């Protein structure tokens, strides 16, 4: 019945000489929302980076299949074109590159990959304005260089806008640190919820349970010392909220 979208088996990865991910297993089916929670410094961000192909990590063993294909053999941009989208906690500034220009390149790279005709400037601007309006984005923001001088809220809105426009099948929300801006997160949560369909799946990485009130997950996993130490439904998140991570860390 269920179609697996992402299958991670025995994944081990390291940065320089430090093992970060140690025997990680997880299968995410189409239509499911999984949350990964864990203490700060557990390597939650490493997981999102490895899935998206960020350079600097060495995969020492294990496999990751996405739509049945070997994900680890794909370049970062190929993964993105295949529908993997990472909502970043600290999106980087690119001076001199307006949001519009950047997004037009991104949209058309993805459309080309899907054998869809490229959007011309008029069509694209229309799409951008419409989606921007829903997120309360001022058209002036679209002319500014990407993330340069953006407030935390503006950065989050821009990530949400990209999610809405690029229409990924698998989104990863990386809010690994504790520095969560609740108001800004609401915007992202709404955008994510809007993308919840029976085909799309999501992975929400967070330190706090609070986020999971806005994005209610189907499954919650506790991540510590490089692998999943406990799994359950959304109630597991509440347990963590009340009792902290200590109990899970002892169990292993």
Closer residue to another protein, CB minimum distance, 96 or 117 = 96
Of the candidate residues 16, 73, 96, 140, the single one contacting another protein (CB under 8 A): 96
Q: Residue 203 interacts with another protein (CB under 8 A)?
A: no
User: How far apart are alpha carbons 198 and 115 in whole angstroms?
Assistant: 23
Q: How far is the CB of 209 from another protein (least distance, A)?
A: 27
Q: Residue 71 interacts with another protein (CB under 8 A)?
A: no
Binding flags for another protein, 156-175, as an x/- string (CB under 8 A): ------x---x---------
Number of Cβ atoms within 10 Å of the Cβ of 119: 16
Of the candidate residues 80, 135, 202, 224, the single one contacting another protein (CB under 8 A): 80
Q: Residue 149 interacts with another protein (CB under 8 A)?
A: no
Q: Kindly state the greatest CA–CA separation across the chain.
A: 58
Sign of CA dihedral 158, 164, 165, 171: positive
Binding flags for another protein, 16-35, as an x/- string (CB under 8 A): --------------------
Q: How far is the CB of 15 from another protein (least distance, A)?
A: 13
Beta strands per DSSP E along 103-226: 170-175, 201-206, 219-224
User: How far apart are alpha carbons 43 and 144 in whole angstroms?
Assistant: 33
Residue recorded with tokens 């093992």? 19
User: How far apart are alpha carbons 183 and 60 in whole angstroms?
Assistant: 39
Q: Residue 101 interacts with another protein (CB under 8 A)?
A: yes
Q: How far is the CB of 26 from another protein (least distance, A)?
A: 20
Q: How far is the CB of 83 from another protein (least distance, A)?
A: 10
What residues have CB less than 8 Å from 122, skipping those under 6 apart? none
Q: Which stretch binds another protein (CB under 8 A): 99-107, 185-193, 214-222, 234-242?
A: 99-107
Here the contacts of 16-22 (C-beta below 8 Å, separation 24 or greater) are 19/60, 19/226, 20/46, 20/57, 20/226, 21/46, 21/47, 21/50, 21/226, 21/227, 22/225, 22/226, 22/227
Q: Residue 94 interacts with another protein (CB under 8 A)?
A: yes
Q: Which stretch binds another protein (CB under 8 A): 106-114, 134-142, 177-185, 192-200?
A: 106-114
Binding flags for another protein, 45-64, as an x/- string (CB under 8 A): -------xxxxx--------
| Cross-strand partners of 232 | 220
- Asked whether the beta carbons of 74 and 67 are under 8 A apart, the reply is no
Q: Residue 86 interacts with another protein (CB under 8 A)?
A: yes
Sheet holding 58-66, edge to edge: 18-29, 4-15, 58-66, 69-70
Q: Using CB under 8 A, list all residues that contact another protein.
A: 52-56, 75-77, 80-81, 85-86, 88, 91-92, 94-97, 101-103, 105-106, 109-110, 113, 145, 162, 166
């Amino acid at each position: 019945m269920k179609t697996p979208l992402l299958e991670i088996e025995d994944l081990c990865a390291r940065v320089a000489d430090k093992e970060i991910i140690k025997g990680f297993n997880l299968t995410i089916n189409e239509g499911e929302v999984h949350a990964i929670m864990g203490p700060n410094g557990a390597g939650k961000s490493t997981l999102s980076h490895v899935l998206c192909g960020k350079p600097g990590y060495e995969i020492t063993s294990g496999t990751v299949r996405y739509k049945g294909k070997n994900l680890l053999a794909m370049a970062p941009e190929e993964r993105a074109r295949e529908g993997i989208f990472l909502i970043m906690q600290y999106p980087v500034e690119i001076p001199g590159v307006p949001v519009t220009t950047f997004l037009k390149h991104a949209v058309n790279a993805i459309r080309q990959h899907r054998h869809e005709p490229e959007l011309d400037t008029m069509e694209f601007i229309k799409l951008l304005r419409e989606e921007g309006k829903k997120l309360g984005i001022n058209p002036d923001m679209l002319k500014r260089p990407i993330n340069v001088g953006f407030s935390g809220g503006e950065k989050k809105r821009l990530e949400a806008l990209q999610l809405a426009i690029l229409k990924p099948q698998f989104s990863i929300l990386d809010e690994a640190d504790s520095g969560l801006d609740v108001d800004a997160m609401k915007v992202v949560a709404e955008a994510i919820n809007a993308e919840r369909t029976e085909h799309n799946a999501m992975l929400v990485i967070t330190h706090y349970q609070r986020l999971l009130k806005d994005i209610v997950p189907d499954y919650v996993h506790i991540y510590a010392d490089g692998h999943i130490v406990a799994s359950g439904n959304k109630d597991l998140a509440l347990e963590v909220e009340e009792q902290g991570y200590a109990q899970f860390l002892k169990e292993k």
